[in-house]
Amino acid sequence: MRRLALGAAAALIASLVAVPQAQAAGPDLAGLVKPKDVKAHLKAFQEIADYNGGSRATGTAGFELSVKYVVSQLKRAGFTPSVQKFDFDFWEERGAPEFAQLAPDARTYAVGTDFNTMAYSGNGEASATAVAVDVPAAGQAGDAGCEASDFAGFTSGSIALIQRGTCDFVVKARNAEAAGASAVVIYNRPDQEGIVAGTLGAPVGIPVVTTPYQLGEDLVEASDGGDLRLRVKAVTYTEKRTASNVIAETKQGRADNVVVVGAHLDSVNEGPGINDNGTGSAAILAIAQKIGQLPKKDVRNKVRFAWWGAEEEGLLGSEHYVAQLSEAEAAKIALNLNFDMLGSINGITGVYDGDDSLGSGTNPPLGSGAIEKAFKNYYAKRKLPTVESPFTGRSDYGPFIAVGIPAGGLFSGAEGIKTAEEARLFGGTAGQPYDPCYHAACDTLKNIDWKLLEKNTDGAAAATQQFAGSTLPVNGEAPRKALRALKPAKPEFRGHHAVR
């Protein structure tokens, strides 16, 4: 009888552990969220941008009205949203930048093709000799400019040529500024296509421009003789402004095991940001509006929806949110799902590489690999392809994994180039960017692959529902109903021996 009892107990445990990992019976959140729901929100974001300078960048009227729209929609769905405000350094480019070679040859470089001004570049211009700083070995990323010692012997007043790699852009720029550089040219890594797409994240006092790898390498080679002179001009403006995050959570579910579902609401100054990241914002808004239709048994954990501000300025909204959490509050967050760019017109279904099989070096927290698997399982069941997307910390999940909170999500591609294998799996054109309108004025409703957006929204909804039901494979937290069922019966005492 003892063997039988143990076997029955094992079977009970196995069944209780297995059930939460499967899709819950009853309504399917992915089925409840319709493409028309997401499209309606995107049309609203587009109209807001159209009437407010063509942008929804943080610190502009377009962003503030996007916040009001999301809050209004959440209230209609029965949520009590809060708006979390924080100060940030607003930056914009107010004139045409210039980049040219003065000697030994005269060449003028084209903005958008050969160079761009990096966000948070200082205002001003410089004409000076160019000096290459700590040049990495051929074909390597290296860590040029990451240490003050890299500028030993640097001639004050020169323009610094620095390759992208290892540390934050602002570290390189500030080290150069401290060494007396009059401007900085940051060129891309050899394994990255095109112009560097990034932000300094905080103001610096000198002009900073970015170029593709090949142009940067050519300039470094030309600087060897000491007679390369460049001209750099940036027309920029910076001031303190206020930004907002919008937060809303389900009334149902455990408050000590919260699933945070986020997307950034802001665009860049250059365009309305309908794919980047209207698509992620619209998708989670549609999911939030329908999650209340799930049975209570399907929402055992609170789901906290978040629309981040100032992502394009350097993940500032999500960083502020995570930084203001107490240790106890952070411990109550089971995981973060992040959805950034879900409808790239030449895109993919990219699942964030939570188990770090691609070796991005971010050392994702324990449980991130399980989130990756959840997305892959969902799409495999539907016989739809996925690829792994590098888990680099470039989006709003970054601050979460930095404090040990597991994270994952979906990404359809930005300025990267589509491979032949990806074109075979997803259609589209190999050798072209996933999103040709990334960070550009043409990121409008015409810049969306609607079928891909639907598939990616389905995956976002499915993962939200799964983890609302159970986070067991991520953080070991079984649903409380299962835990109660596993509670041992009160033993019956006969003398000094307990009998089950």
Position 20, amino acid: P
CB 493 within 8 Å of CB 20: no
Find the length of the chain.
500
Tell me the Ramachandran region of residue 446: left when phi exceeds 0, alpha when psi lies from -120 to 50, beta otherwise. Answer: alpha
First-to-final CA distance of the chain: 11
Does 311 qualify as catalytic in the annotation? yes
Rounded CA-CA distance 43/47 in Å is 6
Catalytic residue among 311, 313, 319, 454: 311
Rounded CA-CA distance 396/137 in Å is 32
Question: Which secondary-structure segment (H or E) carries 499?
Answer: strand 497-499
Describe the crossing of helices 280-291 and 35-50 by its angle, rounded to 10 degrees: 130
Rounded CA-CA distance 257/365 in Å is 16
Residues whose CB falls within 8 Å of the CB of residue 276, separated by 6 or more in sequence, listed in order: 267, 268, 340, 341, 414, 435, 438, 439, 443
**Which sequence positions are flagged as catalytic?**
311
